[in-house]
Chain A
Amino acid sequence: MTAPGDAVAPLVEMRDMSVSFGGVHAVKDVTIDLFPGEVLGLVGGNGAGKSTLIKTLSGAQAADSGQIFVEGEPVEIHTPIDAKKWGIETIYQTLALADNIDAPGNMFLGRELTSGIGNLDDSAMEDATRKIMGRLNPKFENFKVPVSSLSGGQRQSVAIARAVHFNARILIMDEPTAALGPAETDQVRGLIRQLKEEGIGIILISHDIHDVFDLADRISVMLQGRLVGTVPKHDVTMDEVLAMIIIGKMPEELTQTELADLHG
């Protein structure tokens, strides 16, 4: 995908990724890439393979074949820890927060700050959380309550703060606004723009085509485990992307009838 002569190497490139479950190809020969400060929208219907594809990047799912490059270097990602080592952080659809633990505990889950003899340093973790939240969501105040008692938007900001704090260069967001109300959705959109400005590359998975058109620079469409194609947002209309999602045809292959049928 990278055009020859591009000054910047892609932040990450997934080349010819395939995953199958018991003979069913969930992902088949998919290649995508992502540049610094770019939001790549990854869209497709249910079961299109989006989540499976990004799980191979976040280390939650092993790929059967394919190769991942981070800044041009081939890397091996087998576990979430491997992914984090390369600056790849993931915000899952299920939020991946432990509900019974407070915001600092969740932010540092698996990477706790400890004192010299290995005791948890809760104050330091709370301090770091307060600092990062001051930047991302200054209204956030509930640092000592279990996150189960936070609103959806607050929880999402905890999840995002976690990624940001650990210097994510590549951020994968799986349906970040699915469970949120309109005001909270706006808040999260604001966050995404802020991160983008900081030069972080974001892969945004969403059902919501409006989300994607609002935020993404380029859009990759998947259908039945295959990549239909990747298009710059400014070159396409929403209908054309819908056609890619539903029919699996690129805009240039599309007939007017097919486009009309989309709304029929």
Chain B
Amino acid sequence: MDAIAWSGMVCTFGNREQMAVTEDKTTTSEGALAPQHAQASPYPGGVRGLISRAVTSLEIDTRMFGMIIGLVVIWVGFHIWTGGTFLTPRNLWFLTVQTAIVAIMATGMVLIIVTRNIDLSVGSMLGFIGMFMALMQAEWLPSIFGFDQWYTWIIVLIAGLILGAIIGLIQGAVVAYAGVPSFIVTLGGLLVWRGLSWVMAHGRTIAPMDVTFQLLGGGARGTVGGPISWSIAIVASLAIVLLLISRRRNRLKFGFRVRPFWADLALMVLGPALVIVAVWFLNQYYMPEAVAQQFAQENGLEVPPGGLEIPFGLANPVLIALGTAIVMTFIATRRRFGRYVYSIGGNPEAAQLSGIRTKRLIMLTFMVMGILVGLAAAVQIARLNSATAGLGTLQELSVIAAAVIGGTSLTGGVGTVFGAVLGALFMQSLQSGMVLVGIETAMQDVVIGVVLVAAVVADVAYRRRQAA
């Protein structure tokens, strides 16, 4: 999943808010501006110089680059530590699924934090909306229409998203219009939604979910299979190339500076290559024999003597998370809404004086968050095939941590959707890896806590260096 997201967004995101800071170092003194292409001639010495030059030419955000390096390091580290289990198609496939739920919510949390707010209620909200959707499909709708109707999942999903939007809207309105700090409003929400979810089901576990709805959660059937995964890879690759070309053309049309041709070409090869390698790798995860047998039976396939090798393909939650990330990136970078969100974070007064309706906008960010929580709740209960009273407990911390590790600054104005998704993947990699090597739960918490703080320390140091 990372490969698609990565290459898909580098081109739209690479040189926005954060990355451009790198260029700035050469051009701080007014008037004494070194035109960018002038940098191409003198080679800074050594391999390090070569890499940093490549990163600059490719316009890759150095911070993101650092995170990806960090991710690779822990992946390889765990691979060695687990004696070769971590970097297997199966483990990475599960890693993508396990990341999906937090990633979906983290894309919204970025916008909230960028506007200098916080949403502590997402875990409880996930529990409440999850319980609502579970009751709807396990009790309310069946009592009218009967179990497992084909349309049940759509009604339930839409209802969940609407409920999320309403909750977000309520919390957002109190924050924006009543002027209550979001910390307090959502702390209240954390209690209220958890309490109401308890009241709604009296602490019962609600299960099972509708058979079609379950597909949202992945599982043995909730995947798109090998061929469709390949199609997605091809479409994504084409999209990356087309985006790069259209961007280059557009800039040339206005006579702006563009990346050196080799750099654009490299991205056009590198991006799709990453997507294809990722999908190829994940497609190596074949259905376990029991599932494959059943699949063969249902589809009238013959079982060869060597057994069947049917790839699961990408899991639905992963596709949902990727789709969410792409849509949210688009909203954050290509739409007025996103631009205004960042401007509020950068200077609320300036935003207001520019005629932006900041209150309404803040309310809407909470609504977006609510919708995303609804989506995440759907994936969660589908994946778990049940809704429990404690569903989503402490998830707010994972979501906030993912956003923060991904480079979102709690002082506002700074953060990217892609970074948050990467942050979620980073956290989940740590967590899953530690379970694999059998580190006890208490120590896992210690490690994750330390990593969270360390990530922010590194981030602050990095920014300070950039500003100097």
Contacts and interface: CB of A to CB of B under 8 A. Distances in A.
A–B direct contact (CB < 8 Å): yes
A100 B336 contact: no
A84 B333 CA distance: 25
Contacts of A139: 30-31, 33
Nearest to B19: A144
Given A96-B350, A123-B254, A84 B336 contact: no
Most buried by A among B23, B28, B30, B33: B30
A126 B339 contact: no
A141 interface: yes
Given A81-B355, A101-B343, A144 B23 contact: yes
Contacts of A105: 339, 343
A120 B339 contact: yes
A71 B333 CA distance: 40
B347 A80 contact: no
Interface string A91-102: 010111111111
Contacts of B113: none
A65 interface: no
Contacts of B340: 110
Contacts of A99: 346-347, 413
A94 B30 contact: no
Contacts of A144: 15, 20, 23
A194 interface: no
A146 B20 contact: yes
A216 to B, nearest CB: 24
B348 to A, nearest CB: 9
Interface in B202-256: 250-251, 253-254, 256
Given A109-B343, A149-B24, A120 B353 contact: no
A164 B443 CA distance: 60
A92 B354 CA distance: 11
The number of chain A residues touching the other chain, given as a range, is 35 or more
A224 B284 CA distance: 78
Given A98-B346, A118-B336, A60 B254 contact: no
B154 to A, nearest CB: 27
Nearest to B250: A123
A145 B354 contact: no
A119 B254 contact: no
Interface string A118-135: 111001101100000000
A51 interface: no
Given A98-B346, A100-B413, A123-B254, A110 B30 contact: no
A99 B344 CA distance: 10
B290 interface: no
The number of chain B residues touching the other chain, given as a range, is 35 or more
Contact of A98 (B23, B30, B336, B351): B351
Contact of A90 (B23, B35, B351, B353): B353
A254 to B, nearest CB: 38
A197 B27 CA distance: 31
Interface in B278-320: none
Nearest to A153: B30
Contacts of A146: 17, 20-21, 346
A60 B355 contact: no
Contacts of A119: 334-335
A226 to B, nearest CB: 26
A151 B251 contact: no
A20 interface: no
A80 B353 contact: yes
Nearest to A109: B354
Given A99-B413, A154-B30, A112 B336 contact: yes
Contacts of B28: 149, 151
Contact of A101 (B24, B31, B250, B346): B346
Contacts of A98: 342-347, 350-351, 413
Given A100-B17, A120-B336, A123-B251, A142 B350 contact: no
B60 interface: no
A81 B356 CA distance: 9
Contacts of B20: 102, 144-146
B24 A142 contact: yes
Contacts of B352: 80
A126 B354 contact: no
Interface in B328-373: 333-336, 339-340, 342-347, 349-356
A114 interface: yes
A60 B353 contact: yes
Contacts of B30: 139, 151, 153-154
B246 to A, nearest CB: 11
A96 B28 CA distance: 21
A79 interface: yes
Q: Which 6 pairs show the lowest CB-CB distances between chains A and B?
A: A98-B346, A110-B354, A100-B346, A100-B413, A98-B343, A96-B350
17 contacts: A92-B353, A96-B349, A96-B350, A96-B354, A100-B346, A102-B16, A102-B17, A102-B20, A111-B354, A114-B336, A120-B336, A123-B256, A144-B15, A144-B20, A145-B23, A146-B17, A149-B21
